[in-house]
Structure 1
């Protein structure tokens, strides 16, 4: 016998899953649609009994967990959770939490997530069971009337949406992801530069592709960040020009926001838009020739300087690098800056020491992924004279100063302030590095990997800056890409697709070739 409070409590639990928004901006849609959907669920339970109970318990449990996953993903990465592509991110999230807030916090968060999922399942199994065993199970005619009244309203075109349409959209996303993966695998086999001779022949020096973590258009369009970051770029622009270096800048549209930097790295290297982990794995397995494969074929030695790599990285064997320098290879003996293994200035100095100071050697094309502007943005590094950079212990005072991440992250304003300072340090480090090498300047491409998470970036969408610095005769070729002179492009300049950069580089530096114009990434013709 069901106790008197069982039916309303069970209905309330089901209603809570139905009104839970997947995106806080769409809360009203779920609130308005939930009463209709609740009536439909209860009618199905009354009519279907035990069979309906188990089916609906599974659907409602899945619905609750998907919505919670969406809330987490949208707040962190600015996009909903993709069941087909994002399950592998659990390990990356655990390592980030562990490095920033401690292993105990990471395990606690993981345990809370598991308990929450189990709690949803238990609650839905109990709630659907209560209604399936209700006293009206022998009155199918009355239930059918309720069902017939609810069904047309629940699926009418003018309804406000809600959980039913949300689930349909999730299934559509999974199906669409499968189609996109198939198309991506096909596109990976088509490369207009395969077998071409003379690529990059106009470049008689090293090429450095330097990713600045969490560097987005918000540094140009959000007053809170622009006031600080543009001042740093203006000073660097004057210094670089005085040393005889040319500069052009623009924007790229990144496939990710808030994290998953490797998707941006892979999009640039492979010339394909790689927006999730499934696409990343598919491209690696396809045999696609990356920018670094082509550079190697043209006589460059290739390398990756990756201070964020702290574990084996078997994927690197598919990326075209002759050598990979992870955190343990760079010789840093100082204290880590929480999750950030070492300051950017040390990373750049270590690249010089380990790769570029050797002589004689071939031209090199190097990918560098800087870390200092990566969350949690505390403690903060500051610039030192370059001749004081040693084994990293000179940064220990900085690494031990400042407040812990768990303190900073209680206040969104303090998080944004720390992000602003950390990114400013990264911009100082990379532009100072370029100025320091003006005597025998490499061709340097400095670009953001992605914007910070939406609540931190404030504005700018998914666009990131691109700066090209080097000898005037090489930089002038990038004018045809739509880049503007200097380090500060117009804030409303249209972004190029990030995945188009590989082909712009390969097609823009042939000896005697007409510089490549901004490529249509869907075209199979050489730019």
Structure 2
């Protein structure tokens, strides 16, 4: 089996596996009891490799990477929650039960088949020996001559190759864990006193916002781009009319298709946080986050609005947030929109009423971190904009949710998924920029970006990991500070605008706004 869905095809199964030839030769040479034991163990191993192969296919399709046997088991809980929110509890329970049965069958049936085959080989040892020798000669010949069918080599050693790849992945993960601890202890601004952090933003109303799955594909893919680009251009004009101006570029995310927290923490830490172990290491460290830099100045109150958080969130301490509003602290009484607990427009209005409209004590400024969720897959149903004065407790969205698409219909249709994804990004961008147009002040500075690209089924199997990033402000001095970045004017970054690793943003931002590096060397 291939490790990617796009690799599936008849030619993949018209190959001569070296492992089968060697296995037949070994089984023929063994007495009965060792032969049966080896056959059973080999069958279970073959089933386990098939399960891992299928996990690789799923992870490559959704997260743009292979399954990590050390780190990725805990993501199954998130996957189950996502399915329950998208398709309902009954469907999710049936799917989970089906997966468990399938895994058990993949472990048991190959073992039984291998035992049966081993006994057949023993009963017909003469014919089996000749057949094994012929198969071996054919394999060596095909391998030596490089013979192929439909571009696929006839001589295969896929199982052995997959085992080596898994072993290398495990070794690399263990090595990376030790090395990254050392990297995380080094910080260019680790010893910078608060008085020397972001002096050029003192007195500003700072807002950092992540838009779920807002990737380059939304702006450049022929299916999604026309609607998204028109929205970005229209919102740029509306903000210009309100006195706001923007500059935009690209960042390459540390994650793809999901695991949004890796993108959030990479942006805020200045470290490349590409897996769960790195994330845990950073969350347990005192590495300076961009949000904590504002808290450390003593001149900013810090607050987070996290409508996607529905359980304890100890990461609040590392982010340096004085207060966090999760899904249960925003007073929402409307329906969920699949995974998203509430529409972005409602979350933004609650941010306005509970946070932004209230001046911090002691004449301090405020730094806010907002995580918007309406553009989270499966992109059905999608909220619609309503009058800002009609939002109330969110009950106004009941009719909109009821009239929306069924998630199961969109998930099963690639074209519809791409179309609805584009509409969800349009909604989130519109909600955010309308909020800024309506409630922003001369001191408001908005930095918003995507956390990652959407899944491969939407963005394509060879899509980049780039996401758009924009800085919006009324004060021209704010954008003047990043004039040398080469970013595009407006909310839509040009195709050839600079592309930086997401992990470089923190240090570039801190330096641009007057912060003085005082390194901590570990």
Q: Which stretches in structure 1 are left out of the alignment for 5+ residues?
A: 1-19, 517-523
Deviation, 1:441, is: 3.8
- Is the contact made by 2:16 and 2:139 (CA closer than 8 Å) also made in structure 1? no
> What is the match of residue 59 of structure 2?
73
> Aligned partners of 1:354 and 1:153: how far apart in 2?
74
- Is the contact made by 2:210 and 2:451 (CA closer than 8 Å) also made in structure 1? yes
> What is the match of residue 199 of structure 1?
197
Q: 1:270 to 1:284 in 2, by over 3 A?
A: same
Q: 1:417 to 1:142 in 2, by over 3 A?
A: closer
- Is the contact made by 2:21 and 2:136 (CA closer than 8 Å) also made in structure 1? no
> Aligned partners of 1:283 and 1:400: how far apart in 2?
41
1:246-257 to structure 2, matched below 5 A, reads 246-257=245-256
Given candidates 14, 28, 42, the residue that maps to 2:24 is 42
TM-score calculated relative to the size of structure 2: 0.88
> What is the match of residue 507 of structure 2?
503
Given candidates 426, 429, 443, the residue that maps to 1:427 is 429
For 1:88-132, what per-residue CA distance to the aligned partner results, in whole angstroms no more than 9, with x for missing partners? 100000000001100111111111111111001111211221233
Deviation, 1:133, is: 3.0
2:511 is equivalent to residue 475 of structure 1: no
Deviation, 1:145, is: 5.8
- Is the contact made by 1:47 and 1:137 (CA closer than 8 Å) also made in structure 2? no
> What is the match of residue 186 of structure 1?
182
Given candidates 461, 467, 470, the residue that maps to 2:464 is 461
Given candidates 409, 417, 420, the residue that maps to 2:419 is 417
> What is the match of residue 173 of structure 1?
169
Deviation, 1:21, is: 2.3
1:317-466 to structure 2, matched below 5 A, reads 317-361=317-361, 362-458=364-460, 460-466=463-469
Deviation, 1:318, is: 3.2
Given candidates 82, 93, 112, the residue that maps to 2:79 is 93
> What is the match of residue 226 of structure 2?
227
> Aligned partners of 2:178 and 2:303: how far apart in 1?
30
Deviation, 1:217, is: 0.5
For 1:309-360, what per-residue CA distance to the aligned partner results, in whole angstroms no more than 9, with x for missing partners? 1122233333322212110011111122222111101111111222222224
2:295 is equivalent to residue 296 of structure 1: yes
> What is the match of residue 107 of structure 1?
93
Q: 1:255 to 1:157 in 2, by over 3 A?
A: farther
Moved more, 263-272 or 280-289: 280-289
> What is the match of residue 489 of structure 1?
493
Moved more, 211-220 or 46-55: 46-55
Given candidates 153, 164, 169, the residue that maps to 2:160 is 164
Secondary structure of the 1:185 match is: helix
- Is the contact made by 1:36 and 1:153 (CA closer than 8 Å) also made in structure 2? no
Deviation, 1:150, is: 8.2
Q: 1:142 to 1:252 in 2, by over 3 A?
A: same
> What is the match of residue 26 of structure 1?
7
Aligned residue-pair number: 497
Deviation, 1:410, is: 3.0
TM-score calculated relative to the size of structure 1: 0.87
RMSD of aligned C-alpha atoms? 2.7
Q: 1:149 to 1:301 in 2, by over 3 A?
A: farther
- Is the contact made by 1:296 and 1:302 (CA closer than 8 Å) also made in structure 2? yes
Deviation, 1:301, is: 2.1
> Aligned partners of 1:400 and 1:200: how far apart in 2?
46
- Is the contact made by 1:40 and 1:151 (CA closer than 8 Å) also made in structure 2? no
Secondary structure of the 2:448 match is: strand
> Aligned partners of 2:232 and 2:45: how far apart in 1?
52
Secondary structure of the 1:400 match is: helix
Q: Which stretches in structure 2 are left out of the alignment for 5+ residues?
A: 147-154
- Is the contact made by 1:185 and 1:286 (CA closer than 8 Å) also made in structure 2? no
> Aligned partners of 1:64 and 1:367: how far apart in 2?
42
Moved more, 457-466 or 270-279: 457-466
Given candidates 39, 42, 48, the residue that maps to 1:56 is 42
Deviation, 1:422, is: 1.4
